[in-house]
Structure 1
Amino acid sequence: MGAMIGKLVVRKFFKESVNNAFGTEDPYFEEGPQAEVGRKKRVAKRRRPPPPGLSQNDTQVLTKVKRRAYHLDMYFGVCCCGMAIGWSGIIALIPGIGDLIAAYLSYCVVNAAGKIDGGMPGWLYTKMMTNVIIDFALGLVPLLGDVVDILYKANSRNALLLEKYLRERGQNNIAKAEYSKTK
């Protein structure tokens, strides 16, 4: 029975990871069309626009969560090992208390996400807190855990989960508005 639950969790985790490019997707910026500069092609980075159909509060909350996630997971860009690193990865390197501080900052991201209109549904809160707990547990492993912690990027995952949820909500809001116009 425990093995079946373990397999289910691993399948769900890897499906989510593949959909999120294994945590490497940037929650705050997206790549734009390539601009040719001399002989090199450069990719332009621009802020991701908020999904259409959201209230002003939801848009502000999403922007705040994405910005925090970016700062915690990817702020310093790609380091020498090919991994994007942010404040969370730097703080987690502090022996003893670093992982606790990083987990608290990740909790602050989840807490900020809960300020959307109508609050966050329980299933979304559970997924986000599971990401925070996994990130914390991975960071507890000495040395190797810090590298895996940097790769996992719980904050970016949570920001993308919130954006997906709000995108669906925005589409529903647009559909309701169109339906009420036809009446």
Structure 2
Amino acid sequence: MAADLPLGTDPVSVRARIEAMERLLERGFTVPGTSYQFGLDAVVGLIPVIGDFIGAALGAWLVWEAKNLGMPRWKLWRMMGNVGFDTAIGFVPLAGDALDFLFRSNTRNLRIVKKHLDKYHPQTRVIDQ
């Protein structure tokens, strides 16, 4: 999968990388016998303190990629707020881990980026099948 990701700075390449990272962080695994998906963000969040910082760093990478697209500051602040909230709730013992499975900051941030790309770079749209 990693070999298939484009390395360019054009919007199409950035979109592909952000979508792949979101998939890994939020939907990389499926609970056996169900259709419920969770990702690396929830798994590393189970490690006290360090896991929350790792999840925040990975979420911040998505914001950095969005910044390189030239997104407006208010959208970047909104994305950082999502990552910050996700990190803050992760510090709450037990309840924070449960909420981390429900509040998917990276999915929210991907939605913000996709909306921006669809409006300003419509050639990056991909029809999901």
What is the TM-score with the length of structure 2 in the denominator? 0.80
More helix by share: 2
Aligned length in residues: 114
Instruction: Give the letter aligned to residue 94 of structure 2.
Output: L
Q: Amino acid of the residue matched to residue 74 of structure 1?
A: R
Q: Check if 1:139 corresponds to 2:90.
A: yes
Q: Are the counterparts in 2 of residues 107 and 129 from structure 1 also a CA contact under 8 Å? A: yes
Change (3 A) 1:100 1:70: same
Specify the code of the residue in structure 1 equivalent to 2:46: L
Secondary structure of 1:114 counterpart: helix
In structure 1, the partner of 2:23 is 70
Alignment correspondent of 1:112? 65
The aligned counterpart of 2:117 is: 166
* TM-score normalized with structure 1 length: 0.58
Q: Which residue of 2 aligns with 1:85?
A: 38
Distance in 1 between the 2:33 and 2:60 partners? Answer: 28
Residue 62 of structure 2 is aligned to residue 129 of structure 1: no
SS at match of 1:88: helix
Higher-Rg structure is 1
Work out whether residues 63 and 79 of structure 2, in 8 Å CA contact, stay in contact via their aligned partners in 1: yes
Report the CA distance shift for 1:141/1:127 in structure 2 as closer, same or farther (over 3 A).
same
Corresponding residue for residue 58 of structure 1: 11
State the one-letter code of the partner of 1:120: M
Q: Which has the higher strand share?
A: 1
Structure 1 moving runs of 4+ over 2 Å:
77-83
Root mean square deviation, CA, Å: 1.8
Gaps of 5+ in 1: 1-55, 172-183
Cα distance in 1 between the residues matched to 2:17 and 2:30: 19
- Shift, 1:170, TM fit: 3.1
Query: Sequence identity, in percent?
Result: 34
CA deviation digits over 1:54-85, x for unaligned, max 9?
xx811111111111011001100246786421
